Amino acid sequence: MNKLFFSILLSAMLFGCGGGGGGANVNEGDNVLSQKKPQPYKLDSTEIASSITNITYKLDIYVPVEYQAGGAPLPVIYASDGQWRSNSYKGILESSGVSAVLVAIHEGPKSRRNIDYLTPGVYDYYEFLTQELIPFVESEYSVLPTNRTLVGHSYGGAMSFYSMLIADPNRSYFDNFVSADPSVADTETLLKLEEERFHLSKKMNSRMILTGAMKGGNGPDVEMAYAYMQNRKYEGLNITLIKQDVTHDHSADQTFKDALPLLFP
């Protein structure tokens, strides 16, 4: 299906899409962090060598300063592009008052994200996340295996979206997917992955927060992808679209800020 046909099809869907089936369509600013007490976080820097991708990834792992090993388990957030987003995400998390473990994954060698976050490399990257990174983190930190979130922006946002689609329907590693102004203009890839997933199972017990930057960003493509997913009517899929009055580059931090009160009310 070419992009022109996809655009015509999904433009029609947008007019008929009422945001049902567990989804919502909200504007930026509708979701404001509740007035929780800010709390400081501390950094643990380490790295992990993947035998799947053959890449060594630097990790910035942030935990609340009051976190105690072996204490009450916390939700865990895995965020791509740690080389750019690590510090700002940490600051947003501190201001939010949310208690969670943040694992910011650097891309590895420069431009490795162009391989890991897109097809076909995303298949190996997803296996690295689920078979190597998650076991490593959960062996070192007290986190909730039932409350894992995967966050990405741009190519990383596409990676988060794709990861939801290529996940085994019978083995869900991530409960929440946050896709910030994802690069989903390659509609043939998105439709191929979704079609394969749809034929495997029409159940998708996942929460997705999808944002589109409307100031020259990927907003129109994101709106169409949202409409397409909504009209598939997956059982158990809760998808929220947030249209943001920001540029593509500013969407990453804005999305993280918007997502926290939705994921951790």
For the record, the structure tokens of 263 come out as: 């994921």
**Is the pLDDT reported for residue 200 higher than 60?**
yes
Q: What is the mean pLDDT of residues 221-236?
A: 96
Provide the 10 A C-beta neighbour count for residue 209: 26
Q: What is the per-residue pLDDT for 143?
A: 97
- Class of residue 138 by CB neighbours under 10 A (exposed 0-12, middle 13-18, buried 19+): middle
Q: What is the per-residue pLDDT for 7?
A: 54
- Domain of 172: which CATH number? 3.40.50.1820
Name the DSSP letter for residue 235. B
pLDDT band at 245 (very low <50, low <70, confident <90, very high): very high
- Tokens 């007490």 label which residue? 37
Q: What is the per-residue pLDDT for 58?
A: 98
**Is the pLDDT reported for residue 17 higher than 50?**
no
Q: What is the per-residue pLDDT for 3?
A: 54
Residue 104: what are its φ and ψ, rounded to 5°?
A: -95, 120
- Class of residue 51 by CB neighbours under 10 A (exposed 0-12, middle 13-18, buried 19+): exposed
The string of pLDDT tens digits covering residues 86-143 is 999 999 999 999 999 999 999 999 999 999 999 999 999 999 999 999 999 999 999 9
Q: What is the per-residue pLDDT for 22?
A: 43
Task: Indicate the number of domains in the chain.
Answer: 1
Q: What is the per-residue pLDDT for 90?
A: 98
> Range with the lowest mean pLDDT among 7-16, 67-76, 173-182, 232-241?
7-16
User: What is the domain extent for residue 46?
Assistant: 3-263
Q: What is the per-residue pLDDT for 21?
A: 37
pLDDT band at 239 (very low <50, low <70, confident <90, very high): very high
**CA 16, CA 147: separation in Å to the nearest integer?**
33
**CA 50, CA 52: separation in Å to the nearest integer?**
5
Q: At what angle do helices 82-96 and 248-263 cross, to 10 degrees?
A: 40
**CA 150, CA 164: separation in Å to the nearest integer?**
9
Q: What is the per-residue pLDDT for 102?
A: 98
Q: How far is CA 182 from CA 57, 164, 234, 250, in A?
A: 22, 13, 21, 13
CA 124 to chain centre: 17
